[in-house]
A and B are shown apart, each in its own frame.
Chain A
Amino acid sequence: MSKILEQLATAIIEGDIDNTPKLVQKALDEGLEPLTILNDGMVMGMNEVGRRFKAGDMFVPEVLMSAEAMQAGLKVLRPLLVASGAKLLGKVIMATVQGDLHDIGKNLVGMMCEGAGFEVIDLGFDVPAERIVQAVKEHKPDIVGLSALLTTTMRQMAYTIKALEEAGLRDKVKVMVGGAPVDEEFAKKIGADGYGSNAAAGAELAKKLVGAA
């Protein structure tokens, strides 16, 4: 790994929001490919963040800083990635289901997925099943991530999956679910493809669902 990529990974790990875009620019100036900068620099850093978080050596506010640094770097990189037609890990649609106004957890999973190298489309909170179906048709994502914090709204996840089935889209996307009242058992029951117990686990799961982990 070249020195600049190492510095970039370190900046991501340290959550250095100011320096990360500058290092991305420097790497581009040195002639490195955008996809190399992403995968061998930034994603390497984010993978280390995930590992440390799992081991209890990093805490949520610190992981968020890393994710923000990642986003700051991607701002520079994204137009170039699109222009070069480079393939990202995949596309994820995130939504908190209808009737539920909680979106912190969903946002965290989105940031972590972005950090892992996905393109993330955030539909926000209180999202009806029809809108999710429509977004799947429009964006053709690899994964739909559904979130709910309340026991009263978690059944909306089941209705959303059913709506995807009825629209004939269920076999075109993977569905992952998460949120405080949700567990593995519930995910299976409603026919989701996976459950993530926290933001880092959500991103891990997304990678697994596209066969990248």
Chain B
Amino acid sequence: MRTNYRVNSGTRFHVFSKDQLEQLFWDTLHILEYTGLDVHHEEAREILKKAGAWVDGIRVRLPSYMVRKALSMAPRSFTLWARDGDPKKNIHIGPGRAHFGPGPTCPNFIDPYTLERRPYIKGDAELVAKVVDALPNIDFCESLGSISDVHVDLSALYEFAYMFPNTSKPIVAWSFRWDDSEAIHKIAITEAGGQEAFERRPNYVHYCEPVSPLVSTFEALDKLIFAARHRVPLVFTPCPIAGATAPCTLAGLIAQAAAESWMGLTLAQTIAPGLPFFMGGVTSILDMQTMIFSYGAPELALAECGLTELAHYAGLPLWNTGGCTDSKTLDEQAAIEGSFSVMAAALCGGDLTHDVGYTESAMTGSLFQLCMMDEAIGWSRRVTRGIEVNEETLAVEVIKSVGPNGHYLRHPHTRKFFKTEFWYPTLCDRHNYEEWKAAGSLPMRERVIAKVREILETHTPPPIKKETRDVIEKVLADAEARAKSGDTKKK
């Protein structure tokens, strides 16, 4: 018998030591306790005050016990459910698991047929959802854009209404305010079979974004309150810019992002104890030459890994970022930046890693980037799966039976393992030169374009229920009427 034999079941790496994590954790609590945040939502301030917060005007400071209590209530492990119940499409959030999906709200889109950069329009959300549904390494759906050809108040609702029927994978939804949150929720619970059924098996996540530095806006908190009261799992993610809206140093960037997210956490857990909550933070740098917020910088990937470690130390899953690029087109830069950040997210176990498919520093969504990154995610997942070490995989007896100058190709051991031990690419080409030439000498770019078009032309997502289709029609009609009447009230 072996004793004290320690097993690594996957490949992981660490940015911080335990001491560093402890320091980051307590300094984040220090920021919340002594500096606090401006909270632009009266009801939120009242709820927090009642729970023990110190409130001075709009400034809210949280004694550290409040945050720790909230952390103790939020689950580290839970499931996001595919709307059609397909177990392969469920997302099990928990230690050692990274998941990937696109991001929201890019103003532009690369047209999959003309290859032109143009404004994001209605039908695009359908295309994105379809491709997400078909790609094996993309786990959840966002739209990769904001619909430009509908009433300005309705783009989030239209997005959800177009995505929902076209993928059964869990969706991460954003909204402008309470009423479109409500409409989105109505669609989701209809398909789930009612509010209670939804609470047991949530099929979407609500996304809210506070402002850096240290501001909880009315809209972000109003949507958070909506989600908490309806028990919709939450993403609460600031977007601090190192050197501009956050400290230039990555440790300070991470601590500030954590403080901003944990204000949301504390409010959400006070309203709805145990609500699944993704700590957030798109943490990157202001490029000091071009003034862009970089989506391809190594600091993005590194800070995201650090933030993920802090989240896991605190017992929360993280809304990670990766698979994105500053490049304007599907080229070598896009491949390098996207692949490295995907690999980093996979290594640190970024629970939901979004923005896969962002190009041009989040200005343009690209199905091609998304599709190319599906391959990079597959590659990374093979690495993070690690090397299993046991009698059978060490294969000492097999090595003996084959012996010098033999071969393993026809050995039963090879037949048993070659499909699971090796990863098989679908886009990276391994043919020899002649075969590659005979197939048209296609570079990666052309193969990616062909694959995206093939999915768009052939993939049929699982259908939604008839009553859900009816509800979608109704909520869109109601929303159009509301927009026409100029109703802009918040609730």
- A64 and B433 CA atoms in complex are apart in Å by 24
- Residues in chain B near residue A101, CB distance under 8 A: 405
- Of chain B, the residue at the smallest CB distance from A15 is B415
Q: Is B114 an interface residue (CB 8 A)?
A: no
Residues of A within 8 A of B419 (CB): 59
Whether B435 lies near A60 (C-beta < 8 A) is no
Task: Name the A residues within 8 Å of B434 (CB-CB).
Answer: 183-184, 197
In the complex, the answer to whether B410 meets A61 with C-beta atoms within 8 Å is yes
A119 at interface (Cβ–Cβ under 8 A)?
no
B418 at the interface (CB under 8 A from A): yes
A190 to chain B, nearest CB (A): 17
| B432 sits at the interface (CB 8 A) | yes
Instruction: Give, as a whole number of angstroms, the nearest-CB distance from B245 to chain A.
Output: 49
- Bound complex: CA A104 to CA B418 (Å): 18
Chain B count of residues within 8 A CB distance of the other chain? 12
Closest to A68 in B: B410
A183 vs B432: C-alpha distance when bound (angstroms): 10
Total number of residue pairs linking A and B with CB closer than 8 Å: 25
Contact: A61 with B414, CB < 8 Å? yes
B410, B414, B432, B434 interface centre (most CB from chain A within 10 Å): B410
Which residues of the other chain, A, contact B6 by a CB distance below 8 angstroms?
none
A65 an interface residue at 8 Å Cβ cutoff?
Answer: yes
Please measure, in the bound complex, the distance between the C-alpha atom of A64 and the C-alpha atom of B434, giving whole angstroms.
23
B409 interface contact, C-beta 8 A: yes
B432→A64 contact, CB < 8 A: no
Q: How far is the CB of B436 from chain A (nearest CB, A)?
A: 10
**Cα(A104)–Cα(B414), bound, Å:** 15
Q: Give residues 155-194 of A contacting B (CB, 8 Å).
A: 183-184
Sorting the interface of chain A by its residue count into under 10, 10 to 19, 20 to 34 or 35 or more gives: 10 to 19
A61 touches B405 (CB 8 A): no
In the assembled complex, B2 has its CB within 8 A of some CB on chain A? no
Cα separation A65 to B433 with both chains bound (whole Å): 27
Asked if B435 and A197 make an inter-chain contact with CB atoms under 8 angstroms apart, the answer reads yes
A61 to B434, CA, bound (A): 23
Q: Which residues of B contact A184 (CB under 8 A)?
A: 434
A60/B409 in contact, CB under 8 A: yes
Q: For A59, what are the chain B residues with a Cβ–Cβ distance below 8 Å? A: 418-419
**B50 CB within 8 Å of chain A:** no
The contact string, 1 if C-beta is below 8 Å from chain B, for chain A 75-116, is 000000000000000000000000001001000100000000
Cβ < 8 Å to A, chain B residues 414-434: 414-415, 418-419, 432-434
In the bound complex, residues from chain A placing their C-beta under 8 Å from that of B432 are: 197-198
Give complex CA distance A108, B407 in Å: 11
Please judge, given known A-B contacts A59-B419, A61-B414, A65-B415, whether A104 and B409 are in contact too, CB under 8 Å: yes
Cβ of A102 to closest chain B Cβ, rounded Å: 9
A65 partner residues in chain B, CB cutoff 8 A: 410, 415
Residues from chain B with a CB closer than 8 A to the CB of A62 are 415
The chain B residue sitting closest to A180, CB to CB, is B432
CB <8 Å contact, A104 and B407:
yes
A68 CA to B411 CA, complexed, in Å: 12
Residue of A nearest to B433 (CB): A183
**Complex Cα spacing A104 to B411, Å:** 13
Using Cβ atoms and an 8 Å threshold, which residues of chain B touch A108?
409
**A153 nearest CB across to chain B (Å):** 16
Select which of B415, B433, B435 is within 8 A of A61 by beta carbon: B415
Cα distance, A104 to B408, chains bound together (Å): 10
A195's closest neighbor in chain B, by CB? B434
- Complex formed: what's the CA distance from A196 to B419 in Å? 25
How far does the alpha carbon of A63 sit from the alpha carbon of B143 in the complex, in Å?
Answer: 43
Chain A nearest CB from B430 CB (Å) reads 10
Question: Chain A contacts of B435 at CB under 8 A?
Answer: 197
Cα–Cα, bound, A68→B412 (Å): 13
Give bound CA distance, A104 to B419, whole Å.
21
Contacts of B415 in A (CB 8 A): 61-62, 65
- Chain A to chain B contacts (Cβ below 8 Å), 25 pairs: A59-B418, A59-B419, A60-B409, A61-B409, A61-B410, A61-B414, A61-B415, A61-B418, A62-B415, A64-B409, A64-B410, A65-B410, A65-B415, A68-B410, A101-B405, A104-B407, A104-B409, A108-B409, A183-B433, A183-B434, A184-B434, A197-B432, A197-B434, A197-B435, A198-B432
**Which residues of A pack against B, CB within 8 Å?**
59-62, 64-65, 68, 101, 104, 108, 183-184, 197-198
Question: 8 closest Cβ contacts across the A-B interface?
Answer: A104-B407, A64-B410, A61-B415, A197-B432, A61-B414, A61-B418, A197-B434, A64-B409
- Interface, chain B (partner A; CB < 8 A): 405, 407, 409-410, 414-415, 418-419, 432-435
Known: A61-B409, A101-B405, A197-B432. 7 other contacts (CB 8 A): A59-B418, A61-B418, A64-B409, A68-B410, A104-B409, A108-B409, A197-B435
